[in-house]
Amino acid sequence: MKGSHAVPPIRIVTPVWPVLAGASLLCVALLELRSQLWAVQSYRFMIWNLFLAWLPLLAAGGAARLANRPAAVRKTLLIACWLLLFPNAPYLVTDWIHPIMNGDYRWVDQTSLRLWTEIVLFALFAWVGLMLGYLSMRLVHEMILRSPFRRAGWLFVAAVSFLGGFGVYLGRYARLNSWDAVLDPHGLRESVIEGFSGEGIAFSLLFGALILTVYLCLYGLERQRGEEA
């Protein structure tokens, strides 16, 4: 029809995807290098955590691919899966607790190559997790901005940031996984109730502020680049 404009599809796979894939491989390579150089096998669970951090981006990408299609049920299911999986990405930041609580590091000299290797290792894992979280939320945010509910877009971002902070709390303190929402709903309910404590709320606000700050910074950089192009 004259005057109508087709809405362009959301760009899902961007150049940062292969960069993050390479960074993920670098994380694994550094972990293996650490194992070979210093004969330590600890922290291999971080590879599994890294795999889980990719899942929300895949779920959000699947939902965004259906954005312009009449597939409301599938989109809703994918977004619900994304919401459950989202805390897995910023959760990688909490893995810093392991070197901090490890007494072995109290006697390591600050010029130790192992010390600096592990600092880079944990920083890289955390950064990849935060970037994966940003990209997944950016896709869902873009879907909302193109919908009749676009005015609630930033409210959604803020709400998910702090819900994500609470999800990280449930993962770190209650040791719950995303799939416990299906496999152990009773345990999840009990942990959620226990989470409404001073410590749980403070932790959620702290990590929610981190997630939101990272999102705002990266979104601002993205918009600036778009205006300069």
Structure confidence by residue, pLDDT tens digits, 19-74: 999 999 999 999 999 889 887 878 899 999 999 999 999 999 999 998 777 777 88
Query: What is the distance between the alpha carbons of residues 105 and 39, in angstroms, rounded to a whole number?
Result: 16
Task: Please count the structural domains in the chain.
Answer: 1
Residue 9 in domain = no
**pLDDT band (50, 70, 90) for residue 112:** confident
Domain residues for the domain of 196 are: 16-228
For the stretch 127-172, pLDDT in tens is 999 999 999 999 999 999 988 889 999 999 999 999 999 999 999 9
Identify which of 213, 143, 133, 123 has the alpha carbon closest to the alpha carbon of residue 167. 133
Residue 175 lies in a domain: yes
pLDDT for position 77: 93
Query: pTM, whole model, 2 decimals?
Result: 0.91
Q: Residue 213: how many CB atoms within 10 A of its CB? A: 12
* pLDDT tens readout for residues 44-56: 999 999 999 999 9
Evaluate whether 63 touches 139 at the Cβ level (below 8 Å): yes
pLDDT at 4: 44
Alpha carbon of residue 137 to chain centroid:
9
User: Residue 10: inside a domain, yes or no?
Assistant: no
Residue 8, in any domain of the structure: no
